[in-house]
Amino acid sequence: MSERLQPGDVAPDFTLPDADGNEVSLSAHKGRKVIVYFYPAALTPGCTKQACDFTDNLSLLADAGYDVLGISPDAPEKLGKFREKEHLKVTLLADPDKKVLDAYGAYGEKMNYGKTYMGVIRSTVIVDEEGKVERALYNVRATGHVAKIIKDLGI
């Protein structure tokens, strides 16, 4: 498991396939702020709530200069089904080998009902126009998280 990112760190660059299999790179967003959020699994209740919240606020975030990328270990095909079923507008990226999740400290030990296991740590990293970490939030809740980000960023 990698260290968690801190403000001022250079955000690890990545290139991952989106729901249509097109490659998307963080470096392609240079000059804009990027909200990169990591979630455990498409088509699950909490992840659906979070993705819908980002979709509902996408134009507000875009107008404030933010792009949004959601990353999970799901395959692109599952992300496509998720996008269609929930009418999502946010860019969803597939990281099945968990390399990006690990690089961002968003994959590691979790505990549920007293059992320890490895899994995705629901996290959000806000990257500035230069590719540096502005904020790194770990173990966030799915519900209300987008509203909190908007409030914290003063949007």
Residues with catalytic annotation? 47
Classify residue 120 by its DSSP letter: E
CA torsion sign for 1, 108, 140, 52 is positive
Question: What does the block give as tokens for 127?
Answer: 């990257």
Classify residue 5 by its DSSP letter: P
Q: What is the C-alpha R_g of the chain?
A: 14
Classify residue 10 by its DSSP letter: B
